[in-house]
Structure 1
Amino acid sequence: MAIGATIHTFEIQLADVDRGVYEELQLRVARHPSETDAYMATRILAYCLEYQEGIVFSAGVSSTDEPAVLVRDLTGHITAWIEIGAPDAARLHFGSKLADRAAVYTHRDPAKLLTSWEGKTIHESADIVVRSFDPGFIDAAVAPLARRNTMTVSVTEGQLYLELNGVTLSSEVHEHRIGER
């Protein structure tokens, strides 16, 4: 018998001063058995940092034709393709062609990720933003995760402040570009 997804709930206070986004979010997040805690934490942070009307979680790791997070406009057109972790170049190429913009949020070493894409064809690669966090930040954010979670996410001047179930953390949100070193 296959193991099903585990449901995690998040009550989130989002204050993204940099983008002028202030929201109260109630999320039910299905965590696939093959999804790591670090991947799920990065996926939730990406959702918060990209939050706008039309944003949704896709089928996630079990979907081969959609990213972990995507944004659609009212017509159903994909406006943002948001990958998590370390997507391969072909997947990123596909998403970049399909959507108006693409981004990657990674909990892995961004230098290794960028190196893995060198010499590969990725549509409009110079426009794709790769975001990462300070070393150890995601690991520290995973520790307090529970099935029911309360979070406060604040962003100001590129600095992320996270309060998760009583644990307070912070990290710079680092931006990298494909082809840059």
Structure 2
Amino acid sequence: MAIGATIHTFDIQLADVDRGVYEQLALRVARHPSETDRFMVTRLLAYCLEYEEGIAFSAGVSTTDEPAVLVRDLTGAVTAWIEVGAPDADRLHYGSKLAGRVAVYTHRDAEKLIASWSGKTIHGADEIAIRSFDAGFIDGVVATLERRNTMTVSLTEGQLYVDSNGASFSSALHEHRIG
């Protein structure tokens, strides 16, 4: 018998001062058995930091034609393709041709990730934002995870502050570009 997804709930106070976004979010996040806690936390932060009307988590790892997070307009068209982790160049190429905006949030070494795309064709590569966090930041947040979580996520002047179940963490939100 296959093991099902583990459901985590998050009550999040979001204050993205850099974009002027202030929201109270109540999210149910399914973590597939093959998904690491680090990936799930990065996916959750990508959702928060890209939050806008029409944002949603995709159906998960079983859906190969969608990113981890996407934004659709009222017609259903994909307007933002948001990958998490270490997507391959073909996925970025496809997403960039489909959506007006592409971003990658990674809990891995961003420079190695970018190097893995060297020599590959990626539509609009110079417009794709790659974002990473300080070493140990994601691991710190992961260590606080429970099935029910209360978080505060704040971004101001490129500095990310997360309070997760009473523990506080901070990291610069590093911006990288391909090539």
Normalising by the smaller structure, the TM-score range is: over 0.9
Residues 1:166 and 2:166 are matched in the alignment? yes
Q: Quote the residue 1:135 is aligned against.
A: 135
Aligned counterparts of 2:30 and 2:141: Cα–Cα separation in 1? 18
Aligned counterparts of 2:116 and 2:146: Cα–Cα separation in 1? 33
> Within 5 A, what are the aligned runs for 1:108-119?
108-119=108-119
Q: Quote the residue 2:91 is aligned against.
A: 91
Q: Which blocks of at least 5 consecutive residues in structure 1 are unaligned?
A: none
* TM value normalised by structure 2: 0.99
Identity of matched residues, %: 77
* 1:105-125 alpha-carbon deviations (Å, 9 max, x no partner): 000000100000000000000
* 1:58-116 alpha-carbon deviations (Å, 9 max, x no partner): 01212100000000000101000000000000011001100011000000000100000
Q: Quote the residue 2:22 is aligned against.
A: 22
Q: Give the aligned length.
A: 179
Question: SS of 1:60's equivalent?
Answer: coil
* Structure 1 vs Structure 2 CA RMSD: 0.4
Q: Quote the residue 2:50 is aligned against.
A: 50
Aligned counterparts of 2:71 and 2:144: Cα–Cα separation in 1? 28
Q: Which blocks of at least 5 consecutive residues in structure 2 are unaligned?
A: none
> Within 5 A, what are the aligned runs for 1:62-73?
62-73=62-73
Aligned counterparts of 1:136 and 1:92: Cα–Cα separation in 2? 26
Residue 173 of structure 1 aligns to which amino acid in structure 2?
Answer: L
* TM value normalised by structure 1: 0.98
Residues 1:156 and 2:156 are matched in the alignment? yes
